[in-house]
Amino acid sequence: MKMMLLDSDGMEDYLDPEKVIDEFESMTKDSKRVQEETLKRILQENSQAEYLQNLGLNGRTDLESFKARVPLVTHKDLEPFIHRIADGDTSPILTGQPITTISLSSGTTQGKPKFVPFNDALVESTMQIYRTSFAYRNREYPIGSGKALQFVYSSKQFKTKGGLAAGTATTNVFRSSQYKRTMKAMRSQCCSPDEVIFGPDFHQSLYCHLLCGLIFHEEVKFVSSTFAHSIIHAFRTFEQVWEELLTDIKEGVLTSRVTVPSIRTAMAKLLKPNHELADLIFRKCSGLRNWYGLIPVLFPNCKYIYGVMTGSMEPYLKKLRHYAADLPLISGDYGSSEGWIGANVNPKLPPELATYAVLPNIGYFEFIPVRGTEFFSGSDKIESTLLCVEPTPIGLTEVQLGIEYEIIVTNFAGLYRYRLGDVVKVVGFHNSTPELQFICRRNLLLTINIDKNTEKDLQLAVEAAAKPLARERLEVVEFTSQVDLSSEPGHYVIFWEMNGEAGEEVIRECCNCLDRSFIDAGYVSSRKVGGIGALELRVVKRGTFQKILDHYLGLGGAVSQFKTPRCIGPANGVVLQILSSNVVGSYFSTAF
C-alpha cells in the first residue's frame, strides 16, 4: 500500500462521496479475492524481512504457505523485534522498508504503553477509513461547508534510543500532511488552529477548543473526538469555565490561565471583542436546566456528534445524550493502535447497535471462533460455547452470522497473524464483507472461580446499581473494578466516583444491587455456595479518575486516545494505588 500524493483534481476524485461509495461497494462484492491480493501484496513488499525469512517463507505469497509457516502471535512475541527497530536497527526486520515512526498504545490495558510499528501505509488506511465512513455519513447528514468542533490533542513526542519519532497513533496521523490535506478537502476543518491541537498542556488546549467552538458557533456542523469520553470531559469542563470563556469573548483578550506562547499567539488572531456574542451565549446558558441540550443550544447548526461510542465508551452515552438532546450520536470507526479494521457505513444506527464493515484491502484478517449463537426458548437461555484448544483461524469471508470471534490481523506495518485481543460478533454482511459489532477485550474479564463477567456485564451492573442515586439527583461519573484475591474467598471490588455525596443507606442499596446485577450463572452459583465472597463497593473522592487520566498523560498518552481501564490488573499497580488512596467509603454486599 503506497502513500497517495494527489493534486487538487486528484483529491477531488479521491474524496467525492459517490465515487468513494462506488469504490467500497465494488470492493466488498469480491472480498475473498481482495483479501488474497492484499495478503500477496503484504508478503511481496516485505519478502526480505528477517522475520518472514526466519520462518522459511522464502518469498512465497500463497495463503497455504502463509498459514503453514507463520504462527499466531501476541505483542509479547514481537517485542524483541520492535525494540531492535526502536533502538536504531535499520535492517529489514519486520518490513522490507525501514520503520521510521513508532506508535504508542494508550497503555490503559497493560498499565504502560506498547510500542507498535507505524508507517505511511497506516496513514493511507486511516484516510481510506475516514473517506469511507464520511461518504456514508455525509449522505445521511450532509454538512455542506462549515467547521467541526474537534476535541483532538497531540501527545508528548520523543525520540527512541535509535532516533525514531514516537507518539500515539492519533498524533502520528494528525501530524501527517496527507491527513491535513484530506480533512481540509472534506470541508471538516477543525475550529481550532494547529497550535491548540499540538499544544503541550492538555488543559489549556481544551479551554481553547471550547473558546474556538464558541467563536465559530454558527459554523459548527458537527462535534467530534476520537472517544466519547473526551466529548463528555470537554462539556463538563465547559460547565465550570463558561463564564470565563464569555469574558474572553466580550473583551477579546485570552485569559491568563493560557500561558503557552504559541497558543496565545494563535488565539489572538481569532479573538476580537464581541459583546453581542457573549451576551447571546450567556442568555442561552442561563436558560438551560441542568445543562440539558447544551450542544445544540451552543451550536444551532450542528448536525450530529461523532466519536467511538462502543465498548468502554458505552457508559458515557447517557451523559452524552443529556448534552446532545435530539442530535444524532454516530459511533466512530473500528480500529486500534495496531491499525484499522472497519468503517461505520450505517450511521443511522444508534451507538449500542453500531456495526463496522471490514475493509478487505487494508490488511489480511482472520478470525478465531469464541462463542456460538445464543438461543432463547421462553425465559430460558441456552448458550453453546465453542472452545478452541488449538486456535484454528478462518478467513474473512468464512465467518458465520451470529458467531463471536477473536480478530487476527496481518498488516502492511510488520504485524503478521497478530492476535489483537478483541472479541467481535458477526451481525450481518455488507455485500461479502462481514459487519462486526465490538463485544469486549478478551483479557478484560472479572473472573475468580467459574465466573466470567465482561466489560459489558460490568457496565450493565453499574447502570442498574446506580438507579437509586437518581432519587438524590446523583450519578456515577466513572467506575472501574478489580478482583481481590488477598483473602479467601476472592471477591469483586467496584470503585466508583459520584458527582456528589449520597447517604449511607442509598449506597448500601446500590452495593447490594451491584452484586445481584451480575447475572452470569457461574458468578451467581459461586456466590451462593461461598466460592466468591461478598462484592465490595468502594466510593472514591471526586476527581480521582482525573488523577488516573493525568497519570496516563504523564506516560506520554493523549486525551483523545484515553480509555478508562475497566478492570485493574496487577500491571496497573499505580492506578490501583491512586484509587485506594482516594477511597472515602467501603461497603460489602449482603445480597446473598
Is 491 within a domain?
Answer: yes
Query: Which pLDDT score, from 0 to 100, does residue 257 have?
Result: 93
82 DSSP 8-state letter: H
Query: Cell for 449?
Result: 472461580
Is 355 within a domain?
Answer: no
Cα-Cα-Cα-Cα torsion 567, 568, 571, 576, nearest 10 degrees, comes to: 170
Is 523 within a domain?
Answer: yes
Query: Which pLDDT score, from 0 to 100, does residue 7 have?
Result: 44
Domain around 464: 455-588
Strand 101-104 versus strand 165-168 pairing type? parallel
219 CB-contact burial (10 Å; exposed 0-12 / middle 13-18 / buried 19+): middle
- Distance, in Å, from the CA atom of 192 to the CA atom of 556, rounded to the nearest integer, reads 22
Of 327, 347, 382, which residue constitutes the final position of a domain?
Answer: 327
Is 530 within a domain?
Answer: yes
- Residue among 185, 173, 194, 192 nearest 134 (CA): 185
Q: pTM to 2 decimals?
A: 0.80
The residue type of 4 is M
427 DSSP 8-state letter: E
Cα-Cα-Cα-Cα torsion 254, 258, 262, 265, nearest 10 degrees, comes to: 10
Residue 323 and residue 459 in one domain: no
Query: Which pLDDT score, from 0 to 100, does residue 156 have?
Result: 66
Of 312, 327, 342, which residue constitutes the final position of a domain?
Answer: 327
User: How many angstroms separate the first and last alpha carbons of the chain?
Assistant: 57
Domain count, the chain: 2
Kindly give the parts of the chain with pLDDT less than 50.
1-9, 11, 187, 372-389
Phi, psi at residue 314, to the nearest 5°? Answer: -55, -35
Is 357 within a domain?
Answer: no
Is 129 within a domain?
Answer: no
Of 327, 359, 383, which residue constitutes the final position of a domain?
Answer: 327
Residue 317 and residue 175 in one domain: yes
Is 340 within a domain?
Answer: no
Is 384 within a domain?
Answer: no
